[in-house]
Amino acid sequence: MFTGRRTPWPSLLLLAAVVFVGWWGLLQLRDAPTTTQQQRRELVNTNDRQLVTARLGDKLLSLEVVNTPPSIAQGLSGRDRIGSDGMLFVMPQAAYHQFWMIGMRFNLDMIWLLDSQVVDITLNVPRPSLGQPPASLPKFRPSQPADMVLEVGEGQAAEWDISVGDRLAVQTVRMGL
């Protein structure tokens, strides 16, 4: 005679399937690069002087990427204007990178980023005075390590309401200058 107890095989199989799928998903997440790692890899491999579209805070920007030592050293020196919304310096690694304004013809704001997040902002960086000797130029650096620096026109960081903690998200790569 049947006692009313049934074998819970369907429930056990369903539970085993859920556990397996969850375990498999965690393994995939553990090995997958983060979005910021993927973005950094893309920026490092982007053609030097390439234009990208990126979002910083609520602002959609057109940025010129520089990622080679000569272009990083040159930066915006010698130009009369930025030519886009800003120049994004992709550094080889995170550090207390120092920037100076040698050869600059206009004032800047410097937005320092680590893992695509704003970690510091240097506002209203003045261009050198006419005839100012290079040895007397001040050097600017972040309050903590950064792996990217975004230079924008003076006052832009405040106008765009950029603040520490905002994230930079590159959306598209376009043709270079």
CATH number at residue 91: 2.60.120.1140
SS3 48: coil
Residue 18, phi-psi category: left (phi > 0), alpha (psi -120 to 50), beta (remainder): alpha
In a domain, 31, yes or no: no
Q: Which residues contact 60 (CB under 8 A, 6 or more apart)?
A: 53, 54, 171
Domain span including residue 131: 47-174
Reported as a single tens digit per residue, the pLDDT across 65-114 is 999 999 999 999 999 998 889 999 999 999 999 999 999 999 999 999 99
Return the amino acid letter for 85: D
Q: Both tokens of residue 157? A: 């960081």
pLDDT at 47 > cutoff 50? yes
SS3 43: helix
Tell me the pLDDT of the chain averaged across its residues.
82
In a domain, 78, yes or no: yes
How many independent structural domains does the chain possess?
1
Neighbours of 112 (CB within 10 A): 26
Q: If pLDDT is split at 50, 70 and 90, which confidence band does 27 have?
A: very low
Taking residues 19-47, what's their average pLDDT? 58
